Amino acid sequence: MRTENISLSTGEKIGLISNLATMLTAGISILETVDSLLEDAKGNQKKILETLRADLVQGEQLHTSFSKFPNTFDKVTVNIIKASEEAGTLDVTLKDLRDNIRKETEFTDKVKGALIYPVVIMFVFIGVLLMILVFVIPKISSVFLRLKMKLPLPTRILIFTSNLLLTQTIPLIVIMIILVSGFIFFYRRNKKLLVNLLFSLPLLKELAKEIDLTNFSRSLYLLLNAGIPIMAALDLTMDIVTKKEVANAIAHCKELVLSGKRLSEGFKDAKQIFPGIMIKITEAGEKSGSLDRSMQDISEYLDYQVSKTLHTATTLMEPLILVVVGVCVGGMMMSILSPIYGMIGQIGSK
């Protein structure tokens, strides 16, 4: 069975990890726990549990089974579980992972929620445009053609587009399906490239950096808390950020730590990436020997900052989108009305 493409929804993943944590805390063995969960499991969750059971029977550990499902359990999760199995704290770590996934889900929902408004406006605009092209333009264009009027270029473009939609509907639908399928395929192959392009836009640039730093600090906390050495933790967190400059800054921090310097010194060298408060909290954590807790505090602070930036971005985007949509709809209406006004002027002059 190919396991690379098997994935779980966020709810299913939280449920699986939560059930494992609860039953292990109650003193039930891992094999008994998996057998119990298999009784009610369905779909991909059942496939994961069956693989897990087969591996456990052969003497494999939990992290080995999880590593076979990269679409469900990333490298950070696998390494955290591996460290906890070696330390004998699997039940506690699974609870931390469950809580972390919930926080990540809430965090992602905030980002998605902020993008809903512009997406809805875009679909409404496309709907209005199609209604005008399919129902309004054909009736008006027939009047213009009978009167043999000389039409301005925008009006001719609208009439041409309307005729194309009405006479070539099936070919256009086929082309649209091909384009959408091609985009989805390209997105899956080049997701990081497209995300970087999107996050290079002026309004989203700072937001993308804050999202990356939140994910970085939260993952670093989990890894350090699980007992993973800082070098390995920094190496793993480089894979979870989307912006190249953030990944490069983390790589630089890793080099400095390798040379015997502190993590906060690496943050200072990249002040344009890491905010001042992040540097100060990290310094305090290094002095007190609680760097992992410092990373947790930083992630909570940055989570709040992202919420603020999202609110500001959506507040700025709303009027901007309305202006753009208004100009586009107004332009279309003027393309329709200007020939009519011209016709009325000609009749009046006669």
43-47, 191-195, 230-234: range with lowest mean pLDDT:
191-195
Q: Where are the domains of the chain?
A: 10-73, 92-134+196-350
Share of the chain above pLDDT 90, in %: 18
Q: What is the pLDDT of residue 209?
A: 86
Contacts of 90 (CB under 8 A, 6+ apart): 24, 30, 62, 81, 84
Across 156-180, average pLDDT = 88
Q: What is the pLDDT of residue 286?
A: 92
Confidence of residue 210 (pLDDT cuts 50, 70, 90): confident
Neighbours of 249 (CB within 10 A): 25
249-264: pLDDT as tens digits: 999 999 999 999 999 9
What is the rounded distance in angstroms from the CA atom of residue 298 to the CA atom of residue 217?
A: 6
Q: Which of left, alpha, beta for 88 (phi over 0: left; psi -120 to 50: alpha)? A: left
Question: Torsions phi, psi of 259, nearest 5?
Answer: -85, 0
Q: What is the pLDDT of residue 284?
A: 94
Across 52-59, average pLDDT = 90
148-159: pLDDT as tens digits: 777 888 888 888
Question: Would the pTM of this model clear 0.85, i.e. be above it?
Answer: no
What is the rounded distance in angstroms from the CA atom of residue 343 to the CA atom of residue 337?
A: 10
Q: What is the pLDDT of residue 262?
A: 93
Amino acid at position 133, single letter: L
Contact indicator for 336, 162 with CB cutoff of 8 Å: no
The class that CATH gives domain 92-134+196-350 is mainly alpha
Across 90-114, average pLDDT = 80
SS3 label, residue 274: coil
Q: How distant, in Å, are the alpha carbons of 108, 125, 161, 227, 331 from that of 327?
A: 32, 11, 19, 57, 6
Q: What is the pLDDT of residue 7?
A: 83
53-57, 135-139, 291-295: range with lowest mean pLDDT:
135-139
What is the rounded distance in angstroms from the CA atom of residue 12 to the CA atom of residue 33?
A: 16
Q: Where would I find the H helices in the chain?
A: 10-25, 30-38, 43-57, 62-66, 75-87, 90-131, 137-147, 153-167, 169-189, 191-198, 202-225, 230-237, 244-258, 263-269, 276-288, 291-349
More confident residue, 314 or 302: 302
Average pLDDT of the residues of the chain: 84
Contacts 24+ apart (CB under 8 A), 298-306: 298/213, 298/217, 299/214, 299/217, 299/218, 299/221, 301/277, 302/210, 302/213, 302/214, 302/217, 302/278, 303/103, 303/107, 303/214, 305/210, 306/107, 306/110, 306/111, 306/207, 306/210, 306/211, 306/214
User: Quick one: DSSP state of residue 209?
Assistant: H
Confidence of residue 8 (pLDDT cuts 50, 70, 90): confident
Contact indicator for 22, 90 with CB cutoff of 8 Å: no
Q: What is the pLDDT of residue 203?
A: 63
76-90, 288-302, 314-328, 332-346: range with lowest mean pLDDT:
332-346
